[in-house]
Amino acid sequence: MADQREMKEKSPWHRPLIIFITVLIVLAIIALVTTAVVQNRTLQKYKYGIVLDAGSSHTAVYIYEWPAEKENNTGMVQQKHTCDVKGKGISSYYTSVEKAGLSLRDCMEEAKEKIPTWRHRETPVYLGATAGMRLLRKMNETLSDQVLSSVEGFLQVYPFMYQGARIISGQEEGAYGWITVNYLSDNFHRALPTIGALDLGGASTQITFVSRREVESPENSIHFRLYGNDYDVYTHSFLCYGKDQALKQALAQQLKPGDTQLHDPCFHRGYNQTKTWESVTGSPCVSAQGSPASPPHGNFTHLGTGNAALCRSAVRRLFNSSHCQWGRCSFNGVFQPPVEGTFGAFSAFYFVMNFLNLTSATLEDSKEKMVQYCSRPWAEVKLSYPSIKEKYLAEYCFSGTYILTLLENGYNFTSGKWSDINFIKKIGGSDAGWTLGYMLNLTNMIPAEAPDTPPLPHAGYVTIMALFSLLLTALLLLACKLFSRPACTQSKQII
């Protein structure tokens, strides 16, 4: 009995202090492990999504990534990679439709390499076609269906989760572009004022912004509820007012039946190219506007005269302001409230204004610079920019004039509002365009109501981890000191 009592007294487990320290150590370990597990449950595990932007002039493949299980946290989706498909847009393959699908091969192979193999099966792939396919559908719906079947058949062979190939509407194109720029700017989540979106493609152009005024025409009005906030958005897409189709319209307007030469103020002096009538009048944007009666075939010589003022008058004629059934219109009888807030202007708005060095210029300076630029002889321009594709280079006088006219006379951006337009390509590493908004919408990644916040802000997480680590170290040191006392050692030896 006496021996047992002695052993009890000498056993460290019967000292309250030691029991207390042990309990604390166990609790600290549990706290550390739990915090780390909760916070880092899925850290560094990414999910992926692929969107193909089948535009009128070309197709681009976008790969997006986001941390798995953080899908509803704002700002999480980022562009991981883009690939430009070689050649023209899918609508140009209407004469040999099987090539439309095959044209996507290189970029889809690249997507297979960029996305970890184990994620392939759950990676959604969407293809959205825009104005080029809208025009082809207008001309011949069977052909546009065949082109879509061709790309569909091709994409289905890949190990990804195919989600469909379709022609998106102009309204969707505008709305998703607006969602993209505001998502990337974090405006939804922080309930900040939104920015408008201006997209200029080859065949259509979109304007989308939040207006405090009533949107009188239902087809231009969209309502969104995002992260617990309501947005009434105005949007319009002008088919045939992308810069390539606008150029065709401008050429058709200047060409008279039977002409074999066209003296064009929107091209540089010395520019001389033989073009087919068909290349102009074959477009539904031109035939619809009443093309010259004769001859639909044969050639004409396109000669530049390089005169910005005359070019501007020719371009202005593309915008019809003679009728408006609403309170106010942009052009061609389309309702538009006055532009409001700041805007992001991307795709060809950016390519052209960036080339012309006009991204931060005033409207007046921009007009003045266009006068100088258009008057430069073609031979000199070619020498100055040897690395730029000649097709692009030849068109910048027209394109710059077209952009200034569209923004000023079409949408009514006055001199005072000009600085509200930001010509942008990317926001935080991701391209501005409709594709991200399209994917966010189809994967339900922007919830109507604000999602729960993470268990801890990052700073809180780091502080708690550091404090518990310090406590644990101190306790271990203390325990070590207590256990290694001679009394402890002796009692252990007795046991």
Binding site, by residue number, is 202-206
**What is the contact mask toward ligand CTP in residues 125 to 154, using x (rule: CB under 6 A)?**
-----xxx----------------------
- Alpha carbon 468 to its chain centroid, in Å, reads 43
In the region spanning residues 196 to 225, those forming contacts with ligand CTP, defined by CB under 6 A, are 201-204
Q: Per CB under 5 A, does 55 bind Ca ion?
A: yes
Tokens of 234: 């105005």
Closest residue to Ca ion, judged by C-beta, is 201
The helix/strand/coil state of 421 is strand
**Of 65, 172, 173, 408, catalytic:** 173
The closest of 85, 92, 132 to 110, measured between CA atoms, is 85
Which residue lies nearer to ligand CTP by CB, 215 or 439? 439
Tokens of 9: 């007294």
Please list the residues that pair with 46 across neighbouring strands. 67
Decide which of Ca ion, ligand CTP, none touches 265; Cβ closer than 5 to 8 Å per partner kind: none
Give the annotated binding-site residues for ATP. Answer: 202-206
Cα separation, 215 vs 235, in Å, equals 9
Minimum CB separation of residue 56 from ligand CTP in Å reads: 4
Q: Per CB under 6 A, does 401 bind ligand CTP?
A: no
Which residue lies nearer to Ca ion by CB, 49 or 201? 201
Minimum CB separation of residue 359 from ligand CTP in Å reads: 14
Minimum CB separation of residue 453 from Ca ion in Å reads: 36
The helix/strand/coil state of 7 is helix
Q: What is the dihedral of CA 313, 421, 396, 62, to 10 degrees?
A: -140
Answer yes or no: 141 catalytic: no
Which residue lies nearer to Ca ion by CB, 314 or 427? 427
Cα separation, 324 vs 11, in Å, equals 96
Q: Per CB under 5 A, does 101 bind Ca ion?
A: no
- Residue 6: CB atoms within 10 A of its CB come to 12
Tokens of 203: 């065949």
Residues 6+ apart with CB under 8 A from 420: 339, 341, 342, 343, 413
The closest of 373, 338, 377 to 358, measured between CA atoms, is 373
Minimum CB separation of residue 53 from Ca ion in Å reads: 6
Minimum CB separation of residue 355 from Ca ion in Å reads: 18
Cα separation, 385 vs 154, in Å, equals 38
In the region spanning residues 185 to 204, those forming contacts with Ca ion, defined by CB under 5 A, are 201
Which residue lies nearer to ligand CTP by CB, 124 or 242? 242
Binding site for ligand CTP (CB under 6 A): 55-58, 89, 130-132, 201-204, 242-244, 347-348, 351-352, 392
Binding site for Ca ion (CB under 5 A): 55, 201
Enzyme catalytic residues: 173
